[in-house]
Amino acid sequence: MSNCNSCPSKNSCKSQATCNIENNPNNKIKKIIAVMSGKGGVGKSTVTSLLAKQLNKMGYKVGILDSDITGPSIPRLMGLENERAISPNGVDIYPVETKDKIKTMSVNFMVDKENQPIVWKGPLVGKTVKQFYKDVMWGELDYLLIDMPPGTGDVALTVMQSIPISGIVMVSVPQDMISMIVAKAVNMAKMLNVNVIGVVENMSYIQCPDCDKKIKLFEGEETNKFLDEMNLKLLGELPMTKEIVNITHNGVEEISNELSETLNNIIDQIK
């Protein structure tokens, strides 16, 4: 039965008539944003982690739901690979928190060893993702970011149909930006009436450590044309840098002014 009063998207939702998600009355989540990409390896989980860390620094209460059941990367990127979630009554699941209090939930918090594969059929995967929304004790959150698996498969469908997301941030790399892969993901969201907030171009450029010059391997003209045609907003461009690897893989907490500024600009547009 739908419970629109407690739904974070009640003011922007277009599917009141058909929605059947039960919202957990213990949770008060103001905004849910899914981070998606047309294909794998473009930095979707990296962007999710960076946005979560930056939102948290700005004082917002943040959670990350890792809906990538077969290839979860959030525990590692948040430095939580040795943690496990607990469920004292076997129903409510408590998320794992980083030391700066970002709440996270991932299937890897529920397996004995992080390299244990999840060999489940689609319906069970979808059920787990719904459970991660409904049965996890997120408590009060300003933002819940959902790290989606790559592509337009079962999980993307479950998230878009069953979780009241307010919008999608699409992540792409320059060489794919104008491809049908991104277009497919954007069109899927449109078909399901889900708002695409815009695109983050990841690994957009590299920067010379000596002269600071930004070097782009792909020029932007075609990209701008594609964005215009698809009616998409470019939210920001992230460089391919060691700094990002250090933040997401090596536990470095300091974010440079330049990266902070880029992330703040993206956040201003998704707030």
Ligand X SMILES: Nc1ncnc2c1ncn2[C@@H]1O[C@H](COP(=O)(O)OP(=O)(O)OP(=O)(O)O)[C@@H](O)[C@H]1O
Could you tell me the smallest distance in angstroms from the CB atom of residue 37 to ligand X? 5
What is the spatial distance between Cα 106 and Cα 95, in angstroms, rounded to a whole number?
Answer: 8
Single out the residue of 38, 45, 43, 36 nearest to residue 176, CA to CA: 38
Which amino acid, 154? D
Which of 129, 244, 255, 263 lies at the binding interface for ligand X (CB under 6 A)?
Answer: 244
Total residues at interface with ligand X (CB under 6 A): 21
Segment 134-193, which members bind ligand X (CB under 6 A)?
150
Residue among 137 and 240 whose Cβ is closer to ligand X: 240
80 sits near ligand X (criterion: CB under 6 A): no
Tokens standing for 233? 């907003």
Among positive and negative, which fits the CA dihedral 23, 267, 105, 115?
A: positive
What is the spatial distance between Cα 148 and Cα 202, in angstroms, rounded to a whole number?
Answer: 16
Tokens standing for 150? 């790559």
What is the spatial distance between Cα 156 and Cα 44, in angstroms, rounded to a whole number?
Answer: 13
Single out the residue of 187, 194, 185, 200 nearest to residue 237, CA to CA: 200
Q: Report the alpha-carbon angle 30-31-36, nearest 5.
A: 160
Could you tell me the smallest distance in angstroms from the CB atom of residue 49 to ligand X? 8
53 sits near ligand X (criterion: CB under 6 A): no
Which of 118, 192, 240, 267 lies at the binding interface for ligand X (CB under 6 A)?
Answer: 240
Instruction: List, as residue ranges, the binding site.
Output: 38-45
27 sits near ligand X (criterion: CB under 6 A): no
61 sits near ligand X (criterion: CB under 6 A): no
- Cβ-closest residue to ligand X? 40
75 sits near ligand X (criterion: CB under 6 A): no
Residue among 4 and 240 whose Cβ is closer to ligand X: 240
Binding region for ligand X (CB under 6 A): 37, 40-46, 68, 71, 73, 150, 202-203, 238, 240-241, 244-245, 248-249
